[in-house]
Amino acid sequence: MTSTTSSHTPPYRHIIHLDMDAFYASVEMLDNPALRGKPVIVGGSRNRGVVSAASYEAREFGIRSAMPMAEAMRRCPDGAFLPPRMARYREVSDSIFAIFARYTPLVEPLSLDEAFLDVTACRNLFGTAAEIARRIKAEVRTETGLTVSAGVAASKLVAKIASDLHKPDGLTVVDPGTESAFLAPLPVEKLWGVGPTTRKSLALLGVNTIGDCCRLTPELLTSKFGKLGSYLYQAARGMDCRPVEPEQEIKSIGHEETFSTDLTDPAIIHKELLALAERVAQRLRQYGRRGRALTLKVKYADFKQISRSITLPEATDDAGEIRRHIGLLLKKTEVGEKPVRLLGITLAQLQGDLETMQLPLFAEPTAPGKQRQLNQAMDAIKEKFGCSIIRPGSLLKG
Ligand SMILES: [Mg+2]
């Protein structure tokens, strides 16, 4: 008996990842044509701020997002350094998302300038996913004057990697069945979850490209990297079945850090808290939100975990403000007396105009022995993907 249907070609999704090119910097150049062709850097203050966006001209000086502003100024003293104008970026973002919404209701925003679209069900109306991506790019350009890069694939993972490949103004289409060949030559750190630490461990195993990673057995990957290993096995083959999830309301934005050595020095603790506050504040601004309910989470070296919360008089997205109130919460802890293993800052009761966001990549609980490793992986994902610090309300109490 023979079958004519192949079990290897299940119905697959048609996903587009769209990512505006150097978004904040591009908006600044759009609004002020005198800036065009110049290195434009949008970010915080010279003393403590970091780069939020750098134009492609600025990137030629080695300037990157999240680099300290002082460093960016050192690299490019003649650059145009501008403070962010979030209200304006939100306005442009609204126009872009309105264009996305013409094609599908399945739009999952990742930030003001980035989204996944599932266009599986609307191809009869608008053409193939690649054609839809082309149309969206043209409409964004015509209606906003800005360029967006697109990746088209059967999974979020591959679409996201594809959109980044030919920036700016890129369009990269990865046909179903060609994922492995597409990914194979790319450096392994292109995969979510591969940060500097995992990168080094993989290099010791002779893995530099994603294709190299495909040569490792799932057993070896799992024994070396635990849960991250089984994820890597699938990711290296482009396997990712997460759906595009629209309309997930974010409940909180936060960040936490597990330290490689327990902290006792008050000066270092203060420095770490300031860094956390800046990170959370930057993320709030990136998502166009402000928060009122502030929580400090502390895990001591003995693994005892506490959290202390306060409701602020007004919602904020300011690092200094967050840091000040954290100072008050700190007095209700034993930080400084007992060694500290982890610190976290979260803001909830969010206000703002972006009502849709997404859940973390790894929401399920993990084996305690692998927690540290996973934390590192999560940190790398946060760096690369910038979304997993968005937590659903149920994880708030952690
Ligand atoms: Mg972008």
Q: What digits encode the pLDDT tens for the residues 357-386?
A: 333 333 333 333 333 344 334 444 444 444
Query: What's the gap in Å between 164 CA and the centre of ligand 1?
Result: 9
Q: 121 and 217, same structural domain?
A: no
Average pLDDT of the chain is 85
Classify residue 382: in a domain, yes or no.
Answer: no
CATH number for the domain spanning 35: value is: 3.30.70.270
Flag whether 212 is in a domain.
Answer: yes
Ligand 1 center to 113 CA (angstroms) = 5
Q: Which residues share a beta bridge with 305? A: 299
Does residue 391 carry a pLDDT above 90? no
| 204 and 170 in a common domain | no
For residue 325, being part of any structural domain is answered with: yes
Q: Are residues 86 and 151 in the same domain?
A: yes
User: Residues 316, 189: one domain?
Assistant: no
Q: Tell whether 91 is covered by a domain.
A: yes
pLDDT of residue 10: 57
Give the CA count within 13 Å in the CB-facing half-sphere of 384. Answer: 20
Q: Say whether pLDDT at 347 is over 60.
A: yes
| Percentage of the chain exceeding pLDDT 90 | 65
Report pLDDT for 249: 63
Q: Are 256 and 219 in the same domain?
A: no
DSSP 50: B
Instruction: Report how far residue 81's alpha carbon sits from residue 253's, in angstroms, rounded to the nearest whole number.
Output: 27
Assess if residue 186 is contained within a domain: yes
CA distance linking residue 363 with residue 380, whole number of Å: 16
Is residue 211 domain-shared with residue 342, that is, in the same domain?
A: no
Q: Above 70 in pLDDT, residue 160?
A: yes
Instruction: Give the Cα separation of 164 and 299 in Å (integer).
Output: 37
Check whether residue 104 and residue 123 sit in a common domain.
Answer: yes
Condensed to tens digits (0 to 9), the pLDDT of residues 56-101 reads 999 999 999 889 999 999 999 999 999 999 889 999 999 999 999 9
Question: Domain check: are 72 and 159 in the same one?
Answer: yes
pLDDT tens string 353-365: 433 333 333 333 3
How many domains is the chain partitioned into structurally?
Answer: 3
Q: Measured in Å, how far apart are the chain's first and last C-alpha atoms?
A: 55
**Whole domain around residue 115: which residue ranges?**
10-174
Classify 104 as helix, strand or coil.
Answer: coil
Position 95 scores a pLDDT of 95
* Ligand 1 centroid from CA 138, angstroms: 17
Question: Cβ of 116: how many Cβ atoms within 10 Å?
Answer: 25
Averaged pLDDT, 134-140? 98
Please give the Cα distance from 273 to 322 (Å, whole number): 10
- State the distance from the centre of ligand 1 to the C-alpha of 3, rounded, in angstroms: 46
pLDDT at 397 over 50: no
The answer to whether position 362 is within a domain reads no
Amino acid 114: pLDDT: 96
| Nearest CA-CA partner of 389 in 371, 375, 373, 372 | 375
Q: Is residue 394 part of a domain?
A: no
- Together in a domain, 265 and 311: yes
Question: What pLDDT, in 10s, does the model give residues 194-247?
Answer: 988 899 999 999 999 999 999 999 999 999 998 899 999 999 999 998 899 886
Residue scoring higher pLDDT (30 or 45): 30
Task: Evaluate if residue 310 carries a pLDDT over 70.
Answer: yes
Whole-prediction pTM: 0.65
Q: What is the domain-level CATH number for residue 208?
A: 1.10.150.20
Ligand 1 centroid – CA 114 distance (Å) = 6
What is the percentage of the chain residues whose pLDDT exceeds 70? 85
Residue 14 near residue 56 (C-beta atoms within 8 A): no
Structure tokens at 352: 């703002």
Residues identified as active-site: 114
pLDDT at 398 over 90: no
What SS3 state is found at 302?
Answer: coil
Do 298 and 340 belong together in one domain? Answer: yes
* d(CA 23, ligand 1 centre) in Å: 5
How far apart are the CA of 18 and the centre of ligand 1, in A?
A: 8
Q: Could you count the other beta carbons within 10 Å of the beta carbon of residue 157?
A: 26
H-helix or E-strand containing 95?
helix 86-101
Q: In terms of domains, do 268 and 162 share one?
A: no
Residues 43, 148 contacting (CB under 8 angstroms): no
CATH of the domain at 301: 3.30.1490.100
Flag whether 148 is in a domain: yes
In this structure, are 154 and 187 located in the same domain? no
Tell me which residue has tokens 């925003």.
Answer: 109
